[in-house]
Structure 1
Amino acid sequence: MTTRYQKSQIEDVARILHDAWGEARDVGGLAERYMDDTTVSNLTHDFADLFAADNPPTCLHCGQEAIELGDTCLVGGGIGAPHAHTQGFDPEQFLVACGLKSEG
């Protein structure tokens, strides 16, 4: 799948938002960039949604996008096996990289 965003661009956005989030927490909710912690959080989630829409999780075996949780894959694991939705952008990992969530 072709995506609009390169890994390095996503990493740059994560770094900028991580720094802004740290600034907002360090000075009681207002970053040096004049963004409060709520604004930084909202922007981070918006970018996560944007990147996920551009590169949605797809099944490792058949390439189908993760549309419904109950879908089964006819290619990998036999009939009735769940899709292996491992490829694509991971919003949770992005939120961890930005400092909004903890790992695990």
Structure 2
Amino acid sequence: MGEWKTVYEDEVEERWVTLKVYESKDDEEDDDDDGLVVRVTVAPIDDEPEQKGDEPKPIAKPDAEDNSITLDPDAVEDLEEELIEIGFSPEAVRWIVSKVPD
């Protein structure tokens, strides 16, 4: 068994991006490179807080699941295409993909 490890989490083009890689306990013993397994979750950020009383409404946190999109590409190479499909610029796509460990 393994676990998902967050390798990058930040705002990119007004959306919260969380990049995770799957680390398997068998990876250390397995010399076959089946490719890295990645998962990207993209959530909108509420950039206009509503005023209620004295406290502004907090900005959406990465765990806001209402409008989030999760990408599970078959290969890291497919991640670029999937990020472009959901509206990221080529520069943002290169930035996000650069965070995937080698």
TM-score normalised to structure 1 length: 0.32
Which structure has the larger Rg over C-alpha atoms? 1
Select the structure that is richer in helix. Answer: 1
